[in-house]
Amino acid sequence: MVKIENLCLDMGAFKLNGVNLEIARGACHAIVGPTGSGKTLLLETIIGIQKIKSGRVVIGGKDVTALSPSLRNISYVPQDICLFPHMKVIDNIMYGVKVRKIDPAPLKPFIDELIEFLNISAILERYPAGLSGGEKQRAAIVRALAARPDLMILDEPFSAIDSALREDARRLLKELSASHAITSLIVTHDIDEAYFLADEISVLISGSIVQSGERDDIYNYPKNHAAAEFLGVRNIYDALVVKVFEKSIEAALDSGRSINITCGCARSKFAAGQKIKCAVRSEAVYILKEGTDFFDKINCFDASIQKIYTRGKMHTVICALAGGIKIEIDIHDAAFNKLKLALEKKIKISINPDNIFMVN
Amino acid sequence: MRFKKIAVLAAFSLFIFYFILLASLFTIVEPAKLSAILKSERFYYSIKISFITAFVTTALSVAIAVPAAYALSRSDFRFKPAVDLFLELPLIISPIALGALLLLFFNTGAGLFIQNNLCGFVYEIPGIIIAQFVTSAGVATRLIKAAIDEIPPRYEFVARTLGAGEFKSFYTITLPLAKNSIIAAAVLTFAKCVGEFGATVTLAGAMPMKTETLPIAIYLRLSNADIEGAAVFILTLLALGFTVTLITRMFLKVRHG
């Protein structure tokens, strides 16, 4: 178990404000946040490169806060990979074993297994300069794991890899983490990468963790407006609670249109007259077939298509509801063609109340 | 396009200027005189004293410049801007002024104590070394700092997370990566030391067969209106300069990708 307790750092213009994290043994935790949120700085404080103002780093019950980076047994793969350019790949891999003066014999089967798993046996005698981004990345991961660290930290691990190879690299890391029970902390601004790799996710914004929890929880229920925006929620609205029912509330959007949401989804208690922010993911809004009747459906609205953006087989449709409220809808190519969507077309949309959540 | 042509013309005119200066030397020196000077004991003494003092000074300068450059590149410490400023001294102050500064120091109480009890510097060979050191150590530090600045500190961070201490990460990562630049800096420092005149003549004097380095030999021969002799020593310094430049370029080109 790795515990980061109330970690504070003051760099003058930038601060880390009481960061708390817990990473279970063998788990992968991702820290996500926009550029400039302090992700790399947080990693550097955990590694021990930056001097902290207060707080503790505890690994396996041992407080390592006062220890130098060389004694913490935390390995680090930086964003720019940083294989030592004057050493062959094999010397890079064995660097930690050599400087720690560890007997390499007991570690050899493990290192050989890693080399085999990450398929770098052909490049062991080569210098980093001639390697591809993916090969460098895999070599750096083996180097980081060779001396069996308690925690492996990866900073934007796939940013230096071509997008075509990135998915393979992610899968390989996920399989490696699972098969070898590697405790890892990953920093990324790519939310899809975090959802794919991590068991738990923390959202870091302006030096503070605004939300931390299980991957699905973070995905489904971002708590904070900034976190929701960063996590790709593009439909966020100011609203006023009109009526409170047993399992739902009725809230009026700014324009006066009302939508229903369920309390179970909102995870909070509300009172009539309360100001709230409600949000819905663009993939959770449905476009109804032409001719569908509204009678037995709630949260159904007339809309007109204003813009369409296409990315491969996915389309983002931006619609205007009555009252000028904009809503973004992600829809797959097949459905898009079936519904014959086009600019300025009048459509009907529906939002499942369970898919609406509250943000602070 | 026209500007590019003008720029090339400017570069070429500089080359022509130096080439004419160099060619003029060969019109002065007669082969017989050249041969006589090259075989003279005084010529070899000048070469020997120049090389020995420059070698010792370069070793001292690099030994201090490497850790100093590392500290200036990687650490924030009190009075760092002041230290940084003082390293510029040899670049902005005339070598004669630096030599005079040393001469004045060795006339103070502390300086006289050193002179009388530890080592004589004024008009002595160690004076050549300290004069060369004062004018070259800052430059060596500047050159090596520029090389270390180019190496991302993350290499050391990674080395430290892999178990290396501060010195080990410097010794096994930064130093090998900066090796070629440090060698190039050492070669340039050596050349600067060999060519140093102002501070040396002020502190160590211009004594034949004692403190007669190559530049001082040129000065002494010009003082005695021995133009051909001066030209031979100038040619020697130029040959050394070209050799050093070629070696430096070779080391700066050889980099681990």
**Strand, helix or coil for residue A295:** coil
- Asked if B232 reaches chain A (Cβ–Cβ under 8 Å), the answer is no
Query: Using CB atoms, which residue from B152, B163, B173 is nearest to A100?
Result: B163
Q: Is there a contact between B163 and A99 if contact means CB atoms under 8 Å apart?
A: yes
Cα–Cα distance list, B23 to B13, B33, B233 (Å): 15, 17, 15
Instruction: Check residue A257 and give its pLDDT.
Output: 62
Task: Let me know: does A173 contact A157? Beta carbons within 8 Å.
Answer: yes
**What is the count of structural domains for chain B?**
1
**Mean pLDDT, rounded, for B100-127:** 86
Tokens of A346: 């009048």
Is B12 a member of any domain? no
Q: Indicate if A233-359 has the same CATH topology as A2-228.
A: no
Indicate if ipTM > 0.90.
no
Tokens of A4: 């980061």
Tokens of B211: 């403190």
Instruction: Check residue B256 and give its pLDDT.
Output: 41
Interface of A with B (CB under 8 A): 44, 47-49, 68-70, 72, 74-78, 80, 82, 84-86, 95-96, 99-100, 127-130, 143-144, 147, 149, 153
Task: Let me know: does A200 contact A214? Beta carbons within 8 Å.
Answer: yes
Contacts of B164 in chain A (CB under 8 A): 70, 95, 99
Tokens of A120: 């770098």
Tokens of A269: 């208690």
Tokens of A214: 């299980």
- Asked if B6 reaches chain A (Cβ–Cβ under 8 Å), the answer is no
Query: Using CB atoms, which residue from B164, B168, B177 is nearest to A86?
Result: B177
Q: Is pLDDT above 90 for B32?
A: no
CA distance A99 to chain B (A): 6
Q: Which domain holds residue B92?
A: 31-253
Q: Which residue has the tokens 């989804």?
A: A265
**Could you read off the pLDDT tens digit of each residue along chain A, which spans 360 residues?**
888 988 888 887 788 888 899 999 889 999 998 888 888 889 999 999 888 888 899 988 889 999 999 999 999 999 888 999 999 999 999 999 999 898 889 888 889 988 988 888 999 999 999 898 888 988 998 999 888 889 999 998 887 777 777 788 888 888 888 888 889 999 988 888 899 999 999 999 888 898 898 988 888 888 888 888 888 889 998 888 888 887 788 888 876 666 666 655 556 677 888 888 888 989 888 988 887 766 556 788 888 999 999 988 999 999 998 777 889 999 999 999 988 888 988 888 888 888 888 887
Query: Using CB atoms, which residue from B152, B159, B163 is nearest to A147?
Result: B163
Q: Which residues are B18's β-sheet partners?
A: none
Cα–Cα distance list, B47 to A8, B96, B142, B198, B222 (Å): 62, 22, 27, 18, 18
Q: Is there a contact between B158 and A78 if contact means CB atoms under 8 Å apart?
A: yes
Candidates 2.40.50.100, 3.40.630.30, 3.30.1050.10, 3.40.50.170; CATH matching A233-359: 2.40.50.100
In this prediction, residue B254 has a pLDDT band, given cuts at 50, 70 and 90, of low
Residue B24: how many other CB atoms lie within 10 Å: 10
Q: Could you report the per-residue pLDDT of A13-65, keeping only the tens digit for each? A: 788 888 899 999 889 999 998 888 888 889 999 999 888 888 899 988 889 99
Neighbour-count burial of B19, counting CB atoms closer than 10 A to its CB (0-12 exposed, 13-18 middle, 19+ buried): exposed
CA distance A85 to chain B (A): 6
Query: Using CB atoms, which residue from B154, B166, B177 is nearest to A85?
Result: B177
Contacts of A74 in chain B (CB under 8 A): 161
Contacts of A84 in chain B (CB under 8 A): 155, 158-159, 173, 177
Q: Could you report the per-residue pLDDT of B44-89, keeping only the tens digit for each? A: 899 899 999 999 999 999 999 999 999 999 888 888 888 888 887 7
Chain B residue with the nearest C-alpha to that of A44: B157
CA distance A84 to chain B (A): 7
Instruction: Check residue A258 and give its pLDDT.
Output: 61
- Interface-testing mutation among B157, B160, B162, with chain A (most A C-beta atoms within 10 A): B162
Q: Is there a contact between A127 and B257 if contact means CB atoms under 8 Å apart?
A: yes
Under CATH, which architecture does the A2-228 domain have?
3-Layer(aba) Sandwich (3.40)
- Asked if B175 reaches chain A (Cβ–Cβ under 8 Å), the answer is no
Query: Using CB atoms, which residue from A44, A99, A128 is nearest to B162?
Result: A99
Domain extents for chain A?
A: 2-228, 233-359
Instruction: Check residue B257 and give its pLDDT.
Output: 37
Tokens of B54: 């420059």
CATH of the domain at B147: 1.10.3720.10
Range scoring the smallest mean pLDDT among A293-302, B37-46, B176-185: A293-302
Instruction: Check residue A317 and give its pLDDT.
Output: 93
- Asked if B163 reaches chain A (Cβ–Cβ under 8 Å), the answer is yes
DSSP per residue, A85-148: TTS-HHHHHHHHHHHTT--HHHHHHHHHHHHHHTT-GGGTTS-GGGS-HHHHHHHHHHHHHHT-
- Asked if B210 reaches chain A (Cβ–Cβ under 8 Å), the answer is no
Q: Which residues are A28's β-sheet partners?
A: A184
Query: Using CB atoms, which residue from A47, A84, A128 is nearest to B157?
Result: A47
- Interface-testing mutation among A49, A151, A154, with chain B (most B C-beta atoms within 10 A): A49
Contacts of B168 in chain A (CB under 8 A): 70, 99
Q: Is there a contact between A78 and B157 if contact means CB atoms under 8 Å apart?
A: yes
Residue in A287, A299, A234 with CA at minimum distance from that of residue A261: A299
